[in-house]
Each structure stands twice: as structure tokens, then as C-alpha cells.
């Protein structure tokens, strides 16, 4: 039986997103903030370190919510706020050693989730799909104020390919 939904982009994205989100919630549930906490922790691992405002802008998280999320990650000793040498009024959010270890462990678990979700694709097509999805995401984000993260991801992907 064929339905009009089978070719609907919104339906397809929704099904894939729900499958990913459910599995990601399961593997990230022990982190403060779950998947959002993981994203903040990922940002805190990045170089150079950034302040809360830059992280919030990249991730699309409201600054008031982000403050509580960083507080929770800090209480768990996964991140720390450090004075910004360029602006003493600003604090940089950096991952602790414990945070880096937790990030790596959760990253490995997320790779299994991704492999499961993308498992229906023929061998080798998962990387192509990721590349196409990154192109679409960065194009969509370019029309939104969140452009820096896509530029960083594209640069990292290009450097990896060298």
C-alpha cells in the first residue's frame, strides 16, 4: 500500500529524527541535560574555548536555559568556567578531564546509535548521506543566524579528507 506520506520530506525527517532522538536519549540519559548537555559538552571540548554566549548562539539554546545547563554540567565536574584572558567580564566554558572522558564514552555510544539509524543504507552510502545532510543543514543554517558552527564542521571535514 502506498500513501502520500511516503514521499513527504517532513514525514521522513520526522521518522528518522524520532528514531535517532529516542536512542540518543537512552545513551545520553545519564548526562545532565541529556542530548543538549552532550551538545554543550561537545562545544566545551572545541578549540579555541568559547564563552556561554557563543555556545548558545551555535547551538540555538536560549541563554537563560544554557546557564542552568552549564551549572548542572559544572556541578557534575564535566565543565568549568574560566576567565577569558581577552575579556575579564567573560567566562570561557571548558571541558574538564572528566568531561572529556565522558564525552568520548558518550560519543562512542552515539556512533552505535547512528550506525543503527543509518543501517538501512547500502554499504558506503552512510558517509554520502552524512555529507548531503550536512550540506542541507548548513544551507538551512546559513539562512538563520547560526553560521559559525557549519563553517567549523565544514573546515574540519575538509581537513580530515586531506
Q: pLDDT tens digits, the chain, 162 residues: what are they?
A: 677 787 899 999 999 999 999 999 999 999 999 999 999 999 999 889 999 989 998 888 888 899 999 999 999 999 999 998 888 888 999 999 999 999 999 999 999 999 999 999 997 899 899 999 999 888 877 777 554 555 555 655 666 665
75 and 112 housed in the same domain: yes
The DSSP result for 105-152, as a single string, is HHHHHHHHHHHHHGGGSPTTHHHHHHHHHHHHHHHHHHTSS--HHHHH
Judge if 129 and 108 occupy the same domain. Answer: no
CA distance 94 to 92: 6
Domain ranges, residue 72: 4-120
Distance between CA 129 and CA 136 in Å, rounded? Answer: 10
Q: What is the CATH number of the domain that holds 83?
A: 1.10.10.10
Residues 18 and 98 in one domain: yes
Distance CA 47, CA 63 (A): 21
Which pTM was predicted?
0.79
Residues 94 and 21 in one domain: yes
DSSP-derived secondary structure letter, 43: H
Q: Give the total number of structural domains in the chain.
A: 2
Same domain, 95 and 53: yes
Amino acid at each position: 500500500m502506498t500513501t502520500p506520506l511516503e514521499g513527504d520530506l517532513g514525514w521522513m525527517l520526522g521518522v528518522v529524527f524520532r528514531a535517532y532522538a529516542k536512542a540518543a536519549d537512552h545513551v545520553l540519559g545519564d548526562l545532565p541535560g541529556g542530548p543538549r548537555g552532550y551538545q554543550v559538552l561537545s562545544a566545551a571540548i572545541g578549540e579555541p574555548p568559547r564563552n556561554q554566549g557563543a555556545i548558545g548562539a551555535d547551538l540555538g539554546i536560549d541563554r537563560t536555559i544554557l546557564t542552568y545547563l552549564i551549572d548542572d554540567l559544572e556541578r557534575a565536574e564535566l565543565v568549568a568556567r574560566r576567565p577569558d584572558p581577552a575579556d575579564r567580564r567573560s567566562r570561557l566554558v571548558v571541558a574538564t578531564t572528566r568531561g572529556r572522558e565522558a564525552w568520548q564514552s558518550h560519543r562512542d555510544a552515539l556512533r552505535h546509535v547512528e550506525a543503527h539509524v543509518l543501517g538501512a543504507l547500502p554499504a558506503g552510502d552512510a558517509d554520502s548521506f552524512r555529507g548531503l545532510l550536512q550540506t542541507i543543514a548548513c544551507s538551512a543554517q546559513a539562512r538563520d543566524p547560526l553560521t559559525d558552527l557549519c563553517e567549523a564542521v565544514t573546515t574540519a571535514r575538509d581537513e580530515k579528507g586531506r
